């Protein structure tokens, strides 16, 4: 607790002035003694004392400023530590609530579904890219057919038209069917029973797709690749 605050400035000035008045005679005696020492020993005592006093006051003021700066930095660090502690407390509370709401079976189902989406999205991106490329080849072929005969005879144009393609492909995506009792380790299940069960499920799924014949439909001839999404 501070004994003197900014509001006590006038009181401090009055106390200093009163102290100077009270000790006026002793201070005058000290002053005269200092002058006598200067004259007797031929030294500049008063200027040296003035320099010492100034350096001391400057040093104390600088220490006080450093102490204030360190105090403010410590207060900021303490506030940041409180904020981090509150965030960690909220994160721990969320983690605890999440752990209490999900049992091991649910977590395994979530991980298994995550792998299904991951592998399916990877296949979709590759197929979409190939479909885009094949459609561009159909567009090149269609543009070449619309060129005049003299342009089609140009060797440069002939080299470019070789990038065209007129084939039409039907792609049926066979999704891996879900099996009873499988979990998130199904992609590394190489047991004899696991392989046999999955092979049989895939075979039956393929038979159903062949019976449905999704490729027997009207399509855009510029499409190049027609993608049919099969159901599990």
Q: What's the rounded mean pLDDT across residues 7-23?
A: 69
Residues across the chain: 232
Three-state secondary-structure class, residue 135 = helix
Task: pLDDT band for 196, please (50, 70, 90 cuts).
Answer: confident
Q: pLDDT by residue (tens digit) across 95-126?
A: 777 777 666 777 677 777 777 776 666 777 88
Residue 2: pLDDT above 60? no
Nearest CA among 205, 149, 146 for reference residue 175: 205
- 127 Cβ neighbours under 8 A, 6+ residues apart: 171, 173, 225, 227
Q: Tokens 């029973």 sit at which residue?
A: 193
Q: How many Cα neighbours within 13 Å face the side chain of 93?
A: 6
| pLDDT value at residue 101 | 66
Q: Tokens 């399916």 sit at which residue?
A: 120
Do the Cβ atoms of 187 and 117 come closer than 8 Å? no
Q: pLDDT by residue (tens digit) across 54-88?
A: 888 888 888 888 888 888 888 888 888 888 888 88
* pTM of the predicted model as reported, rounded to 2 decimal places: 0.41
Percent of the chain residues past pLDDT 90, beyond the cut: 0
Q: Distances from the Cα of 110 to the Cαs of 115, 116, 183, 185, 201, in angstroms?
A: 9, 10, 9, 12, 22
């Amino acid at each position: 607790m501070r004994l003197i605050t900014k509001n006590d400035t006038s009181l401090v000035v009055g106390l200093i002035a009163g102290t100077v008045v009270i000790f006026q005679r002793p201070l005058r005696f000290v002053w005269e003694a200092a002058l006598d020492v200067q004259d007797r020993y031929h030294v500049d005592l008063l200027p040296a004392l003035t320099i010492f006093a100034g350096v001391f006051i400057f040093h104390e003021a600088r220490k006080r400023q450093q102490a204030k700066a360190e105090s403010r930095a410590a207060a900021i660090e303490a506030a940041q530590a409180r904020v981090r502690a509150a965030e960690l407390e909220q994160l721990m509370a969320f983690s605890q609530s999440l752990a209490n709401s999900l049992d091991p079976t649910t977590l395994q189902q979530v991980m298994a579904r995550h792998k299904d989406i991951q592998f399916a999205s990877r296949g979709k991106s590759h197929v979409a890219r190939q479909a885009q490329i094949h459609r561009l080849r159909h567009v090149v072929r269609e543009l070449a057919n619309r060129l005049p005969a003299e342009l089609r005879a140009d060797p440069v144009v002939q080299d470019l038209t070789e990038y065209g393609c007129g084939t039409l492909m039907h792609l049926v995506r066979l999704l891996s069917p879900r099996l009873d009792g499988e979990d998130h380790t199904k992609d590394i299940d190489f047991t004899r029973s696991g392989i046999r069960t999955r092979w049989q499920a895939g075979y039956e799924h393929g038979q159903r797709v062949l019976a449905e014949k999704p490729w027997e439909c009207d399509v855009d001839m510029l499409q190049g690749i027609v993608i049919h999404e099969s159901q599990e």
